[in-house]
Structure 1
């Protein structure tokens, strides 16, 4: 999407100089393809080159933004006035303040095109593996990105909306107004009459001229440089960050078929295979060569990602996950839930069939993981919620008296190792039928250090054997030692006789 935006700006320059190669659509495809190949080369070179390129692009972008704001206070000339630029006017701002969509467009169709402009805020999170201190840098950088982006976008929108009319003819005669040719226009006092734009298409003004910022700025070519900088910077960040996130997913081995893309190269473990895959996807979209077609598709998937991120934050908070810590302590989980619901709703408003396809893909991926049960443990909030729910339910059961209708056998079975006395497990299973509690116990006798070492080394294997037999139950290993002679009286009033076993801290 960003590369197509860059190519469109280049094609506009080619039109002005009458230097078209083929036609606008094919020129966008040619320029976009060449651009993405160059960006791929920078990405493959490594993060150091990408970071240097981003700094240069950022400086150009800042200069271009400053150039725009300076241009809004430079007195307009007759040519710019004919194209709708009249410097700051309260009446122009009042006229532009309310909405007026063209035929076939509405708030959400325009929102779908604009939304991707606000998606770069997660660029830092996407390259967390390359940050020195991700836990501090990501929340700080993300909040600053949101704040600075919001101020910049609002500032540009307010300034251009107070300076430029919506429709302009580009004819200087329409800015030389007299009492004879005002046609009753309220704008006569400002020195223009573009009323004929209501009946015939016009080429200039906010609604028609995509290069309006170049016209308003102090030096037009700087705005073009800024457009190049913004689009190339975003495209480069996407081309670098997406393969790294994809590589991390492949390393988790959740989806076996994607293991091919987990391999990294070089000292920075660069995901070259992921770069190639991203390059191919980018080329496919560049061939569409229509920004207003690509943007709603991109918006749909971004909204799906943001919905999942918001819901993940809500779920981690609701589950009281110990590993979840909101940045700077400013957080409300219900805001995250509202954000997730809002993203889902906007997806359907923008493009319902694309939203349905997205949810079908997500549902398929979820079912796949649920059925395959990959052997990975990433400390998900689902585990935290399961623990909290089990703990709450167990505590609640302690206050409930047993009843004959709900009786479930609860057995403790001194099996030793799970498979040492399988007959005991079988007879216990005949009682519990996997609906009662079964605790298999093994007692280790001897010096504490040796017992603990032996106990810990065999727990995973023994638990696996018990699980393999599909006899639901818990494996409990206890360390102890033999006492010679009499033991002192315990707090419970019990004494251990010679050769009886005492559990570490408890009585058996």
Structure 2
């Protein structure tokens, strides 16, 4: 995850949704396969299977786009497309492996589109050139267009889109004239010949729909990638799905199956104005080649910038004012040219299918992983992706790979596995004996060391709470709320201090820790026991806060109860000062009612009283984490602010709304006009399930005054959480 939400524009972005995402996706999807191979697919598979192939292809790419949209709206998307998204979710090992595979798939796609263009040109225009020679000339021309810069190429695609639309009109008019119901009925069933089958037809067709990444590959050049990628890609999938379904029906009704299979230019033969089809084939294939020639180098450039392989570092170089990846463009050209010289269209298409299926599967897996690990920073604004859809996309890609060709599927997975192993383990020695426990220990050790270097970043902040429940266990709600704040998202430790001159204090400590551990199991808490011996309570708290935990997993927040006895105000204030001096956030719970069932969530709203980001970020994040629990899920969060003037209401509500949108947290923003903030808080939150307010620890000598002031502020509110944050988290992450 990045530390800022995807809603913010990239500072150097040049393109919007239509020109930057929708147009490249549509032009790549409606490419060489549609004009030169879709008739073959319909003729071989029949209309029913052809529609099934289209439906499954669109389902897989649709599920992948949901995952793509979720990740794109949860991070500031930079250059690199799928590589960037996967590497930032699953880590550089998976990202690096898929980065190479996806780059090669895009580079090979250039060859596929160029060969398709050359086949169409040789079949339509007498030139005396072979397909290979013409493909080489075309590849050089595409390379020259892209090396000039993406801005010029994007403008060229508008002309290509218009040409493509006219060619589809020509085909539709011609097919309508030749529509025969008997022909349609005859073409309903499959007519496989030459060893073809349903899965070989799927492998041949699937590259036609892989253009969904054309927009994402330009992520570094988009003004607002988090908005443009989901909207542009989903619209492109929907529009092209309708075109392919209509085209399959019209093809099946216009020509017998053998003619569809035998004639690669059957679309031109059916069209009213064949010259427009020829122009459409040229436009579609060239635009797809241009899109892949633009996308592949940007993937390689982003991969090289991460310095995963030192040998690829030169390709991170950026040229010109718009940071064009010209070195990577040159390598893409050489790879595509090599494929032109050694392969044909039918050989390249299944290879690209496997590369894209692996990429899509890992992209879905990345989103599934983000969702099920309940990372607090995973708050995508795109709401139509669920872990189940991501899992379905992952499994679907895997199943289809093996149905197409189990040998290529096995090879692809092994290749990804070897790349992952090489990136992650090239300098790691195997030092474990027992396979299961040893591997678990080694992985835990490795992760702790990584956390030590990475946990400081705001995007990685998680609640690691030390809850001071007390030896008497007279405030069980401190354990319950600690569990709710951390369940599935962080780590909870229940702390007790044994202080004073206690005989047999070491035996007492072990007995108390054993009792605490038993209580944790009995109450089914996700927590660890922490018991400390000390001369005074304050010394014990200081020791616990400093020493509890391991490495980066030391507590960042201390949860403690608010004293009921005013005589304890001085000691309580000193405790707050100690915790603040140790740079830990404080969550102090004040509960005035008798709680019979600590696990019963009270009715009402969760009210967060906003006074700024200093404490507000942690307050709102705790409210969000609380409502992720089943017991609190139906409790809405109200984000409230007291103002003195009615005229400022609209601006305050707009500010709170923007704040919540950037945080990707659903709230009910509200401005309260009042001259007495304390009274306004008490009146507004009287029936709230929980009230969350900020505070600052008292200065030395002001402990009693501080206690009385906070008591007056909370008054008769039954459940109040006071928060003093030292930072470390960010709502934008």
Change in CA separation of 1:338 and 1:116 when aligned onto 2, cut-off 3 Å? same
Q: Which residue of 1 aligns with 2:128?
A: 20
Distance in 2 (CA, whole Å) between partners of 1:125 and 1:308 is: 15
Distance in 2 (CA, whole Å) between partners of 1:112 and 1:378 is: 46
Which residue of 168, 174, 179 corresponds with 1:88? 179
What's the CA shift for 1:154? 1.0
Q: Deviations over 1:272-291 (max 9, x none)?
A: 11111111111121112411
- Say whether the 8 Å CA contact 1:319–1:384 is kept in structure 2: no
Q: Which residue of 2 aligns with 1:325?
A: 380
Instruction: Name the SS of the counterpart of 2:190 in structure 1.
Output: coil
Q: Which residue of 1 aligns with 2:239?
A: 148
Distance in 1 (CA, whole Å) between partners of 2:122 and 2:214 is: 28
Q: Which residue of 2 aligns with 1:500?
A: none
Distance in 1 (CA, whole Å) between partners of 2:320 and 2:456 is: 26
Instruction: Name the SS of the counterpart of 2:517 in structure 1.
Output: coil
Determine if the alignment matches structure 1 residue 119 to structure 2 residue 234.
Answer: no
Change in CA separation of 1:354 and 1:452 when aligned onto 2, cut-off 3 Å? same
Change in CA separation of 1:455 and 1:316 when aligned onto 2, cut-off 3 Å? closer
Q: Higher mean Cα deviation, 385-394 or 149-158?
A: 385-394
Change in CA separation of 1:359 and 1:384 when aligned onto 2, cut-off 3 Å? farther
Distance in 1 (CA, whole Å) between partners of 2:302 and 2:455 is: 14
Q: Which residue of 1 aligns with 2:195?
A: 104
Determine if the alignment matches structure 1 residue 215 to structure 2 residue 264.
Answer: no
Which residue of 245, 264, 269 corresponds with 2:318? 264
What's the CA shift for 1:358? 1.8
Q: Which residue of 2 aligns with 1:231?
A: 285
Q: Deviations over 1:203-225 (max 9, x none)?
A: xx112111111111112121111
Distance in 1 (CA, whole Å) between partners of 2:314 and 2:214 is: 24
- Say whether the 8 Å CA contact 1:29–1:289 is kept in structure 2: no
Q: Deviations over 1:17-61 (max 9, x none)?
A: 4x534xxxxx22211111111111111111111112211111111
Determine if the alignment matches structure 1 residue 163 to structure 2 residue 254.
Answer: yes
Determine if the alignment matches structure 1 residue 64 to structure 2 residue 171.
Answer: no
Q: Which runs of 5+ in 1 are unaligned?
A: 22-26, 75-86, 168-204, 414-423, 441-447, 457-478, 492-503
Q: Which residue of 2 aligns with 1:394?
A: 492
Q: Which residue of 1 aligns with 2:134?
A: 31
Q: TM-score, normalised by structure 1?
A: 0.66
Distance in 1 (CA, whole Å) between partners of 2:492 and 2:366 is: 26
Change in CA separation of 1:125 and 1:289 when aligned onto 2, cut-off 3 Å? same
Distance in 1 (CA, whole Å) between partners of 2:139 and 2:283 is: 14
Which residue of 40, 53, 73 corresponds with 2:156? 53
Change in CA separation of 1:369 and 1:454 when aligned onto 2, cut-off 3 Å? farther
Aligned-residue RMSD, C-alpha: 4.4
Change in CA separation of 1:452 and 1:111 when aligned onto 2, cut-off 3 Å? same
Q: Which residue of 1 aligns with 2:121?
A: 10
Q: TM-score, normalised by structure 2?
A: 0.47
1:300-315 to structure 2, matched below 5 A, reads 300-315=354-369
- Say whether the 8 Å CA contact 2:493–2:530 is kept in structure 1: no
Determine if the alignment matches structure 1 residue 250 to structure 2 residue 304.
Answer: yes
Q: Which runs of 5+ in 2 are unaligned?
A: 1-111, 428-449, 465-484, 497-513, 522-527, 535-542, 557-575, 585-695, 709-722, 726-733
Instruction: Name the SS of the counterpart of 2:323 in structure 1.
Output: coil
1:107-506 to structure 2, matched below 5 A, reads 107-167=198-258, 205-321=259-375, 322-325=377-380, 327=382, 329-371=383-425, 391=489, 394=492, 401-402=516-517, 483=700
- Say whether the 8 Å CA contact 2:462–2:489 is kept in structure 1: no
Q: Which residue of 2 aligns with 1:194?
A: none
What's the CA shift for 1:332? 2.8
What's the CA shift for 1:298? 0.4
Instruction: Name the SS of the counterpart of 1:394 in structure 2.
Output: strand
Distance in 2 (CA, whole Å) between partners of 1:212 and 1:438 is: 69
What's the CA shift for 1:320? 3.5
Distance in 2 (CA, whole Å) between partners of 1:412 and 1:270 is: 63
Instruction: Name the SS of the counterpart of 1:119 in structure 2.
Output: helix
Q: Deviations over 1:88-109 (max 9, x none)?
A: 1111111111222113110110
- Say whether the 8 Å CA contact 2:114–2:138 is kept in structure 1: yes
Instruction: Name the SS of the counterpart of 2:516 in structure 1.
Output: coil
Instruction: Name the SS of the counterpart of 2:374 in structure 1.
Output: coil
- Say whether the 8 Å CA contact 1:320–1:384 is kept in structure 2: no
Change in CA separation of 1:255 and 1:289 when aligned onto 2, cut-off 3 Å? closer
What's the CA shift for 1:333? 2.2
Distance in 2 (CA, whole Å) between partners of 1:378 and 1:120 is: 38
Distance in 1 (CA, whole Å) between partners of 2:240 and 2:702 is: 78
Change in CA separation of 1:63 and 1:394 when aligned onto 2, cut-off 3 Å? same
Distance in 2 (CA, whole Å) between partners of 1:245 and 1:380 is: 27
Change in CA separation of 1:408 and 1:134 when aligned onto 2, cut-off 3 Å? closer
Q: Deviations over 1:449-479 (max 9, x none)?
A: xx999979xxxxxxxxxxxxxxxxxxxxxx9
Larger relative contact order (CA 8 Å, sep ≥ 6): 2
Change in CA separation of 1:320 and 1:391 when aligned onto 2, cut-off 3 Å? closer
Q: Which residue of 1 aligns with 2:680?
A: none
Distance in 1 (CA, whole Å) between partners of 2:165 and 2:555 is: 67
What's the CA shift for 1:62? 0.8
- Say whether the 8 Å CA contact 1:28–1:289 is kept in structure 2: no
Instruction: Name the SS of the counterpart of 2:260 in structure 1.
Output: coil
What's the CA shift for 1:249? 2.4
Instruction: Name the SS of the counterpart of 1:72 in structure 2.
Output: helix
Size of the alignment, in residue pairs?
Answer: 393
What's the CA shift for 1:342? 1.0
Distance in 1 (CA, whole Å) between partners of 2:213 and 2:240 is: 12
Distance in 2 (CA, whole Å) between partners of 1:385 and 1:252 is: 29
Q: Higher mean Cα deviation, 369-378 or 135-144?
A: 369-378
- Say whether the 8 Å CA contact 1:5–1:291 is kept in structure 2: yes
